[in-house]
Each structure stands twice: as structure tokens, then as C-alpha cells.
Amino acid sequence: MMLRVTSASLCASCQRMRLLLPPSVSASSGTPPIKRQENQRTVSSLYELSVDIRKVRKFKGWVLSESTAYVSETADVLRDMGADTAVIARILETHPEAVLCRPEEVVAQRDLWESVCSSKRTLLNIIEKFPASFFSVNHHSNQRANILYLQSLRLCKRIISKLMASAPQSFSRPVESNKEVIHTLRETYLDLGGDEANLRIWLQKLLTQNPHILLRPAEAWRDSLSFLREQGFTTEELLSLVSSLRASIAELKPESMQQALDYIEGALNCSKDELKKVVIQCPAVLYYSLPMLAGRFQGLMDAGMSIQQVKESPNVLELTTQIVLYRIQKLASYGYDVRSGSLDLIVGTKKDFEMTYTKLNLRQQRPLFNPVAPLRSVEE
């Protein structure tokens, strides 16, 4: 009798505990949820297009369970743009959600994107690389408004299509947001002495370098520029910095820039004017993190470089310690000791450096010509 009462009490306690537990915990500790039935028509249609069903099932299995899908209709639109079976299969494997878009929405999207693409083939290439951007049909009206606005700025089609593909969020939001950012960019450029005639080219360079620039708040640009003005940079110097950093300047925060400047000033023992020269020569120091700057500077010191050398060639801070050591060893094999010369020989891109050591190698191999020495024939 005692055992029965205890068992009953335990059962009642368990039931009360289940009621107190959150739904997620109750679900995880109870019976697993019933798996949704796959739509066999969708599965068969995808299989006929040579789509890897296992891949879709593994990563986007929920698509196969939707009651309505437009597999053949979506394939027809892609085929009309020149896609063969293999291309269609790749697109639908990567972004199977495409088959859930209504055919009329996909056609409207195709017509809209063709307005900024030079050909159907170009559009198809974009869809292959960025299918999610193309099939974001829920924001069609915002996309259209943003395209019309950017076209009114006389931006070239290639730039607009690249923005749509790699930064679709910029086109999904209301056009007023993008207008505010563009207005701030225009004001910034003109206030710094930029020429109105070159504004369009300048904007295109910014947008090409960082397609996500429109997603940055207009205030971020103002804050970054205000901070740099406070550091004593002239209008001409600011324009140079903005043109060099381009879109990156909108991502800089005054606090992090101040930390970087304080570190460089202390590490290189700079005056304020010398610090400005370092920043103008190597704007990248403004967006490198403090640990990265410290690590690269210490790597140069450990390799035997002097503070004065770094101050004269601050661009060396753009290179990782591993690259610096490799280039020093490469030049040493040709008899050049970087520690006693300029660091300009090791800065720059890989192509720049290859040209440098190639010249050193040729100079080493080329025999010196003595104009007063008697000429000798091969036979002698």
C-alpha cells in the first residue's frame, strides 16, 4: 500500500514538472516531432532535372515538404535565359527555395534584372553565383525603386547589377535609406574639395570596392570624418584618405582609430606631424586591430628592422610577418641586406616584389662592361 501511494505521488509530481518546463525542453525530452511528408511530385520533378535530391534533403529538406512548388516553371524561365540541364540542376541544388516562387514573380524578377544586365547570358551567370539574390522576390517593388534611383545617378549597369547580386539587402530596403547614404557621400566628397564632374566616377569606385557600403548608416561617415578632422588632417589630406580608404572609412569607429593612432605614435616615437604622414602613406593602420598592429610591428623589430625604417616605409605594416620574413630572405639570397637599406623594396603586392627581386637578380648576373678593355674574339 505504501509503495502504491509513493508511486502515485511521483507520477503526480512528474506531471506538474512537465507543465512547468518550457515547450522546447518538453519537446526535446518527449517524443520527437513527426517528420513532414515529402511532396513526391516536387521530388520527381527535381529528379527529372538531374538535381541531387540527397543534397537538397540534407541542407534544405523542408523545401521538399511544401505542398506547392513550381519546379518545371522555374526551370523553363532559366532555360529561356540559355541555361542547360546542368546549370539548372546546380542552381536548384544551391537554392532549392527557387521552386517555391510563383512563375509570374520569377518572370517579373527576370525582366527587372535584365534592365541592368547587358544580356541574358550575363544575368544567367549572376544567377549561378548569387541565386538567393535573384530569387528574393518578396522585395520586388523596393528593388525596382532602388534601380531607378541608381540609374538616375547615371551609374553604369555593371555596377548596379553587381550591387544587386552581392548586396541584395541594399535593394530590399526602402529607397529613401539609400538616398540618405548617397546624399551624405556626395556632401562628403564636395565638402572635401572634390569636383562635381568626377562625383559619379568616385561613387562607382566606392560601390565597386565595397557593395555593402549602402548598408552603413550615414552617421557612420560623419562620425569617422569628424574624428579625422579633429586629428588635424587638412581638407586635401582628408580627401586623399577617403579616396584611399573608400568604403572602409564608413566601417571605422573613432574609438578604434584612436587606439591605433595612439599605438603608432608610441611605437614609432612620432610627432603629430610625423603621425599624419604615416597615416597618409599607410591608411590601413586606421582599420587594423591593435593586436594585429602590435604583432606586425614586433615581427619587424624581431627581424632586425629599425623604428626609423618603419617610420620611413610604414606600408610595410600592411604585410604579415610571414610575408616580410620571406621577402627579406629572398632579397638576402641576392646579396641585399634589408636591415641596412630601405624597406620600400619589400612593400607592395606580390607582383611588385617579384619585379623588384627580378631586377636585383638581373643586376647581379649582368657582367660589368669595361669600355677601355680590348675586345677579344670568341676564338681567343
What one-letter code names the amino acid at 47?
Y
pLDDT tens-digit map of 226-285: 898 899 988 888 888 877 776 577 778 899 999 999 999 999 999 999 999 999 999 999
Mean pLDDT value of segment 40-54? 96
pLDDT tens-digit map of 319-344: 999 999 999 998 888 888 888 888 98
Query: Rounded mean pLDDT of the chain?
Result: 84
Burial (CB count <10 Å: 0-12, 13-18, 19+), residue 131: buried
Residue 7 has pLDDT above 60, yes or no: no
Long-range Cβ contact pairs of 42-46 (< 8 A, separation 24 or more): 42/66, 42/69, 42/71, 42/99, 45/69, 45/71, 45/72, 45/99, 46/71, 46/92, 46/96, 46/99
Mean pLDDT value of segment 354-366? 69
Cβ atoms of 233 and 275 within 8 Å: the answer is no
Cell triple for 65: 515538404
295 vs 365, residue with greater confidence: 295
Mean pLDDT value of segment 157-184? 93
Cell triple for 62: 523542408
Instruction: Quote the pLDDT of residue 362.
Output: 58
Cell triple for 362: 638581373
Residue 24 has pLDDT above 60, yes or no: no
Residue 22 has pLDDT above 50, yes or no: no
